[in-house]
Structure 1
């Protein structure tokens, strides 16, 4: 397996990887940990992920040798002397990570931040000011930059609750209270695609419902509030989204089952309705594979007469996949660049 460009840049600076207790945050490459073990053979290595697929890839290979954590909140009794952060997809999420990690960093710990130029990594030094004794650009190659930041030992207590953004969305005169952590899709507002989907939901939804790629849980919460006879499952690959969806359900005094899944990997049983505003970005890159795999695998989880309804940018050619893999597909709406695709199992 080839290493990503950020990982290759890190390994060009192998001397910086020497430490006793390194913490690697958001690494997309399980192979990187083999190189890290070779560079620091006596180190007690930890991996922290908010991406369930990446966590599984690493944990399946190294769980007996490395402390592998998947959670919305990393906590540790170990003080890490090195943190390697792969710059996340949003600047606010990077600030969230720094605030969360500060209490578990050793005095004068080194923070290595690496990322692609197009992904916002150039702002890392400025965004790190609150926790920075000194910083410097170490290397750049393969359209990536590596920064070294020396921790200033300012470690105020981290309170996860303070990082939720609360807002209200209104659809068809019904209000949903939403809680969203940094980095979660459509943080702080109702996106146009989800709004269009909720305005064109099938009538009379009942029974078991799956919200695939739930984000902050708006779709599943809305469906459960409108249709009290539904039993809603929500899944996402992102730990921050899962925590947000659980909080959204609680704010609206609703019940639902929220869980992590890499696509349909943890989905069991069958549903009467499946709804989704599926993601088509992985980090800063466009990626349709997850949604196409979902559409090709969901039929075995649909009951007879079940419905599938998704919203997508109207340039995405999902309708032929739905027709080929599930059932004849109709378009319920096509507005402002978004289309609603709907089918029913016969």
Structure 2
């Protein structure tokens, strides 16, 4: 796996976060290289104020921090951590880290963006740029050419302004825009919908997973959450907090900790818990990398609906870290409740960690399986 990016007689070293043994994926892609090459060929004067959106692991932030004042904006806690680690690794200048819920800084000279997967998130970002950035400020975005559809460009034109594209290079394409569309769009940050048969009304922020309807896995898991008079529980990968709301109703004396790597998910969970619970239990909502720095043997129950991708890459290492962290954080006799697609083989992974006799199937259908692992 390549860790050194060499361009324009300069070499920087990058690692993904968290660092894994035998890592197969590198911490930047051809889109990052395309953006760097294009900007370097422009020969910008130094000390520009550059806003970088969705920098996956900090390659762009590190590169441009050498001569410019960089603001890195991302909804990902892991992207923030990776950027900090790679800045330190390369002895780079500091950058300002922001979430995509924060206000865009004033007097930005150049915007660089990795186009997000989620169109609601993209529209939210475009609308904020249109409202905050001078119409003469270049906005240059990048993605794989196959992901830049005519509908994608229509979103840029509708919510941002004049837009054109580059030729493809290493299967990536640049999108050049200016913030000049009229009228100036106003995009609501919240989408609200009801959960059928659960008497829940959920607000969903632009980058929350399954933000326009309840995903099938969560729907099945809602039917099989325990009512055991829990004293505490952790909702790991909490999303909009729908599982926490149901668990809190079933276990009204329990303290609640919601964890997600998306800042928007954590905020949505906080709002939804406050809005949907008649009595307010002890609630903690934090953005984090799984259960990093949680106290060992401190939790009684963990519920987990693991993601199967990190940034653009499909991977199961996040689920594995969630399972390993959960075993560390659970008290003896504590339980981990997991849902996943049947083909992912979570039963095998959990059996390796907790022991075959400690893992049981709670429920399943033709697509999903719910598993419970008990720490002995």
Q: Residue 344 of structure 1 corresponds to which residue in structure 2?
A: 374
CA distance in 1: counterparts of 2:35 and 2:85, whole angstroms: 23
Matched, 1:144 2:172: yes
Q: Residue 196 of structure 1 corresponds to which residue in structure 2?
A: 220
CA distance in 2: counterparts of 1:212 and 1:297, whole angstroms: 10
Contact 1:4/1:28 (8 A) holds in 2: no
Q: Residue 34 of structure 1 corresponds to which residue in structure 2?
A: 62
- Hey, which of these two has a bigger chunk of strand by percent? 1
Matched, 1:74 2:91: no
Contact 1:278/1:311 (8 A) holds in 2: yes
1:286 to 304, 314, 321: 314
Matches within 5 A, 1:28-177: 28-38=56-66, 41=67, 43-62=68-87, 65-120=93-148, 123-152=151-180, 162-170=188-196, 173-177=197-201
CA distance in 2: counterparts of 1:154 and 1:266, whole angstroms: 48
- TM value normalised by structure 1: 0.90
CA distance in 2: counterparts of 1:324 and 1:127, whole angstroms: 46
Contact 2:65/2:94 (8 A) holds in 1: no
Q: Residue 221 of structure 1 corresponds to which residue in structure 2?
A: 245
- TM value normalised by structure 2: 0.83
Q: What is the total number of aligned residue pairs between the two structures?
A: 339
Give the SS at the match of 1:320.
helix
Matched, 1:334 2:358: no
Shift of 1:248: 0.8
Deviates more, 1:185-194 or 1:57-66: 57-66
Shift of 1:77: 4.5
Matches within 5 A, 1:182-193: 182-193=206-217
Q: Residue 348 of structure 2 corresponds to which residue in structure 1?
A: 320
Return the structure number with greater relative CO, CA threshold 8 A, min gap 6.
1
Matched, 1:10 2:35: yes
Matches within 5 A, 1:296-307: 296-307=324-335
